């Protein structure tokens, strides 16, 4: 799906019909992501031939998508705005000013639609042409960009890039759900404000987020200037700079694949961990670092998230080590949604970032141990139990020093994106649920993309990008391990 197979029809802008100027301050949850790469997703939709003919698609389907997008932006106006840092302000803001709009690219692809939907590993570069660029400069950054690409007589893709300092995965999913609902019920009235179901209305009140000092800890916002200078010596290190840092997609000899865990697979994996829980205890004690809390008592059940992450990251670690022997130290970090875990809890539809990173307590070599899957599953379960028992911020003072120490040791950091609870396959714009959903931005770091399984409640889809030989070994380990007892 090389870019030369792509024909750009139009580059346009879509704005809310009418919305007042709004300005939302970025809070400490947002600031970590200020210059982070955008979150990029692609939703593929199959269409009947009657709608996917180019003349019909661009004259009937696209206007419907644009009108409903405009109506949705009426409710989500900050998404049409920019991140700015006002003079005299200690924090940046996301600001919408009447006249601001979302960039929308309309394109047509000659590529094979069925190939794009296939889970089998394919060139990582193939999907990149379906993702719009998110503009940023030293003084401002766009919040969202969209690309709608037709695959004639087969279907279309919606590529969305969003600024991570403005919205987390839950908020971006809320927006997509709102847009899909208004598109599906579009009455072609482009002048009036269309109402959303209450659960799809964003909650903008930032006063519900307490400051670090109110929460009882001293978290000065990371010294971004110093961090940028160390990690990106050629970049602007001014702490007020808003230009997104270069996290270029890893495309050279890289392939992208989607791997599926069925409900039956997950049950077997959960049972395997529980059956070895106590026998792996000594291994955990001996292998984990001094911060480890992994001696927690055996649970009666394990979550799908725990075993999906543990199984996937251990397969990645073993595949990387198998191909590149010098890579033998790994760590795993995951972000947890804090909305329900703050005191008091905040609404599920809170607009912004409300996620906190969690670093799993396991010795870097544990991932490639024979019983690495069990060890890491126990470590993730233990970390989540700590969060539930002791609060989201109970280890906040240790976090940055630990990340720094791991970076110094050249430990391979594996992270997650997305969630198997977002319900991305429920986003029906009027032509049925997506045929495939990809988190394109997992190619910018060593990241595991998570989504629910399209056609089985309780199953999970895992998306990853790895070098071809590593992906081949990963596939062997992943599929082989599901039949192992």
pLDDT at 294: 43
**Residue range 416-422: mean pLDDT, rounded:** 96
The pLDDT tens digits of the residues spanning 281-340 come to 544 444 444 444 445 689 999 999 999 999 999 999 999 999 999 999 999 999 999 999
The pLDDT tens digits of the residues spanning 66-104 come to 999 999 999 999 999 999 999 989 889 999 999 999 999
Per-residue pLDDT for 379 more than 50? yes
CA proximity to 156, closest of 39, 64, 71: 64
What band does 178 get if pLDDT is binned at 50, 70 and 90?
very high
CA proximity to 84, closest of 218, 306, 294, 243: 243
By CB neighbour count within 10 A (0-12 exposed, 13-18 middle, 19+ buried), where does 451 fall? buried
CA proximity to 258, closest of 450, 125, 477, 432: 450
pLDDT at 370: 94
Q: Which two tokens stand for residue 10?
A: 């139009």
What band does 397 get if pLDDT is binned at 50, 70 and 90?
confident
User: In the CATH scheme, what is the code of domain 3-231?
Assistant: 3.30.559.10
pLDDT at 190: 52
**Residue range 334-352: mean pLDDT, rounded:** 95
What band does 3 get if pLDDT is binned at 50, 70 and 90?
low
Fold adopted by 254-421+429-483: Chloramphenicol Acetyltransferase (3.30.559)
Helices and strands in the chain: count of H runs, count of E runs? 14, 17
Percent share of the chain, pLDDT over 70? 91
CA-CA distance, 274 to 41, in Å (whole number)?
35
pLDDT at 232: 73
CA proximity to 291, closest of 383, 366, 355: 383
The pLDDT tens digits of the residues spanning 213-248 come to 888 776 655 445 555 556 677 787 778 899 999 899
Cross-sheet strand order for the sheet of 412-418: 122-123, 254-261, 460-467, 447-452, 412-418, 330-337, 355-359
What is the overall mean pLDDT for the chain?
91
Catalytic residues: 164, 428
What band does 353 get if pLDDT is binned at 50, 70 and 90?
very high
Choose the weakest-confidence range: 57-71, 166-180, 207-221: 207-221
Own/partner contacts of 398-401, CB < 8 Å, gap of 24 or more, are: 398/291, 399/357, 399/359, 400/222
Cis peptide before 344 (omega within 30 of 0): yes
By CB neighbour count within 10 A (0-12 exposed, 13-18 middle, 19+ buried), where does 237 fall? middle
Using DSSP, state whether 179 is helix, strand or coil: helix
Q: Where do the CATH 3.30.559.10 domains begin and end in the chain?
A: 3-231, 254-421+429-483
Q: What is the 3-state secondary structure (H, E, C) of 57-87?
A: HHHHHHHHHHHHHHHHHHHCHHHHCEEECCC
Element (H, E) at 158: strand 155-162
Per-residue pLDDT for 204 more than 90? yes
CA-CA distance, 94 to 366, in Å (whole number)?
42
Percent share of the chain, pLDDT over 90? 78
pLDDT at 321: 98
Using DSSP, state whether 464 is helix, strand or coil: strand
């Amino acid at each position: 799906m090389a870019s030369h197979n792509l024909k750009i029809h139009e580059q346009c802008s879509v704005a809310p019909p009418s919305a007042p100027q709004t300005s939302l301050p970025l809070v400490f949850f947002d600031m970590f992501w200020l210059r982070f790469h955008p979150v990029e997703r692609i939703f593929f939709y199959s269409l009947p031939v009657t709608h996917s003919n180019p003349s019909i698609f661009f004259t009937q389907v696209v206007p419907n998508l644009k009108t409903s997008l405009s109506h949705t932006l009426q409710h989500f106006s900050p998404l049409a705005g920019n991140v700015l840092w006002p003079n005299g302000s200690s924090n940046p803001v996301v600001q919408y000013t009447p006249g601001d709009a979302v960039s929308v690219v309309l394109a047509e692809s000659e590529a094979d639609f069925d190939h794009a939907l296939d889970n089998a590993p394919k060139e990582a570069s193939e999907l990149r042409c379906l993702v719009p660029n998110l503009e940023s400069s030293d003084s401002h950054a766009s919040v969202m960009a969209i690309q709608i690409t037709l695959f004639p007589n087969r279907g279309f893709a919606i590529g969305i890039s969003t600024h991570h300092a403005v919205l987390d995965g839950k908020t971006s999913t809320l927006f997509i759900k709102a847009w899909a609902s208004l598109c599906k019920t579009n009455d072609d009235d482009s002048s009036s404000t269309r109402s959303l179901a209450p659960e799809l209305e964003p909650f903008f009140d930032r006063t519900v987020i307490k400051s670090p000092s109110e929460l009882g800890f001293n978290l000065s916002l990371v010294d971004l200037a110093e961090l940028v200078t160390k990690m990106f010596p050629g970049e602007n290190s001014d702490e007020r700079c808003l230009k997104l840092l270069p996290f270029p997609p890893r495309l050279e000899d890289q392939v992208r694949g989607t791997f599926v865990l069925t409900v039956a697979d997950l049950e077997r994996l959960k049972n395997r961990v529980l059956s070895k829980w106590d026998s792996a205890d000594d291994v955990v004690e001996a292998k984990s670092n001094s911060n480890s809390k992994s001696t927690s008592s055996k649970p009666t059940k394990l979550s799908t998230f725990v075993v999906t992450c543990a199984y996937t990251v251990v397969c990645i670690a073993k595949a990387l080590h198998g191909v590149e022997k010098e890579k033998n130290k790994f760590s795993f970090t995951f972000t947890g949604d804090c909305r329900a875990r703050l005191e008091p809890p905040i609404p599920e539809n809170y607009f912004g970032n409300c996620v906190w990173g969690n670093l799993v307590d396991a010795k870097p070599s544990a991932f490639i141990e024979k019983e690495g899957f069990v060890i890491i599953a126990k470590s993730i379960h233990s970390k989540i139990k700590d969060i539930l028992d002791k609060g989201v911020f109970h280890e906040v003072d240790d976090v940055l020093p630990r990340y720094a120490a791991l970076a110094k040791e050249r430990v391979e950091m594996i992270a997650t994106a997305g969630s198997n609870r977002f319900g991305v396959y429920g986003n029906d714009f009027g032509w049925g649920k997506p045929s495939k959903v990809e988190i394109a931005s997992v190619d910018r770091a060593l990241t595991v993309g998570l989504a629910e399984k399209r056609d089985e409640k309780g199953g999970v889809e895992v998306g990853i990008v790895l070098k071809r030989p590593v992906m081949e070994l990963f596939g062997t380990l992943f599929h082989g391990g599901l039949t192992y007892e």
